[in-house]
Amino acid sequence: MEYRTVGKSGLLVSNLCLGTMTFGKATSEEESISMIHRFLDYGGNFIDTADVYVEGASEEIVGKAIQDRRSEVVLATKVRMKVGPHPNDVGYSRKRIMEGVEQSLRRLKTDYIDLYQLHVWDHLTPIEETLRTLDDLIASGKVRYIGCSNFLAWQLMKSLSISEFRGYARFISIQPQYSLVSREMDREVLSLCLEENVGVLPWAPLGGGFLSGKYKSVAEPSFGRFSQGLTGEYEWKNKALDKNFNIVAKVEEIAQEIDKTPAQVSLNWLLCKEGITSPIFGARTLEQFEENMGSIGWHLSAEHIQALDEVSALPVEYPNRFIEKFRRSI
């Protein structure tokens, strides 16, 4: 296992992060705890959850699993989504965050959270109020570092600027969806993170399982996450594109050449990419977990990386197309 600093901090995390969104639902508590312990035994130290995952059950399971190994773990959770019936049970008001962190601490059986993250932008609460509250949580010792997730480039830059101007703690990381079949962050967010030294923690690094190679045609599958009638990022029509099947074909071709699985090749591509700190992988079973762990300890060749870059690249768009035309160098 390799370790990398997260953004503009001295915090060291393993180059894979264990995601726990399925814990307590698709993955039993017993198997979830076993998976966490195996991850720690591999040398992994970075675990990500959220207060909304399985209505808090994920945090509870993580808390049980790490209570005797807390000092080994960089523990990350998130706040923002609706967790109750009342109007203040959602968002980033000072009230919501202060109550949310106490609820997460109780479920996680700990007195501090290493990385507390905003789950998605809140258009209602002024970001100044939110950042001041997060800064107070760091001063209190209940939170060590802060990050964000699913922010647009301007939202991240506005947050960083306010933190600098007001003297508040700043985000050290962002969690975007990013994979070979979801490279929208290449437009602006990743270059911003490189410029401002913000760690990037991609979620859905296997495209929700699409890059595992088990989906072979545009027909809606009868198995897996894409068969569950989900909308948005896990709606089948958003993944079953000709370009994405071409990407999977290239992944499978490379996997066969180097005796790896498609999932391992897809994760390793991310591990080799500049600016990526720690992809967050999930696993429903211990078998899937072991397969994903096989993505570390080796590196794709430059030729294979280039081939995957080319087949998955976004179209060159304005203003990047215009800017590149006039790029200056010494």
Residue 164 CA to its chain's centroid (Å):
25
Contact 41, 89 (CB under 8 A): no
Task: With respect to residue 237, please indicate whether it lies within any of the assigned structural domains.
Answer: no
When pLDDT is cut at 50, 70 and 90, the band that residue 222 belongs to is low
The confidence score (pLDDT) of residue 327 equals 86
Q: Which residues lie across from 320 on neighbouring strands? A: none
Among this protein's residues, is 53 annotated catalytic? yes
pTM over 0.75, yes/no: yes
* pLDDT of res. 217: 72
pLDDT reported for residue 224: 64
**Where residue 20 falls among pLDDT bands split at 50, 70, 90?**
very high
Looking up residue 69, the CATH number of its domain turns out to be 3.20.20.100
Residue 227 has pLDDT above 70, yes or no: no
In a domain, 111, yes or no: yes
Domain membership flag for residue 323: no
pLDDT of 147 reads 98
Domain range for 29: 3-210+274-299
Give the pLDDT band of residue 45 (cuts 50, 70, 90): very high
Q: Is position 25 within any domain? A: yes
**DSSP codes joined into one string, 195-217:** HHT-EE--B-TTGGGGGGS---S
Residue 64 in any domain: the answer is yes
The side-by-side arrangement of strands in the sheet containing 171-175 is 199-200, 171-175, 143-149, 113-118, 74-79, 46-48, 17-19, 280-281
What confidence tier does 221 reach under pLDDT thresholds 50, 70, 90? Answer: low
Quote the percentage of the chain above a pLDDT of 70: 97
Q: What is the mean pLDDT of residues 284-291?
A: 96
User: 23: helix, coil or strand?
Assistant: strand
Catalytic residue among 53, 145, 178, 234: 53
Paired tokens of 294: 């096989």
Residue 215 within any structural domain of the chain: no
Query: Per-residue pLDDT for 121 more than 90?
Result: yes
- Average pLDDT in the chain: 95
Whether 234 maps to a domain, the answer reads no
Domain count, the chain: 1
Q: What share of the chain has pLDDT > 90, as a percent? A: 88
Whose CA is closest to 143, among 197, 75, 55, 48? 75
Q: How do residues 58-101 score in pLDDT, each as one tens digit?
A: 999 999 999 999 999 999 999 999 999 999 999 999 999 999 99
Whether 322 is in a domain gets the answer no
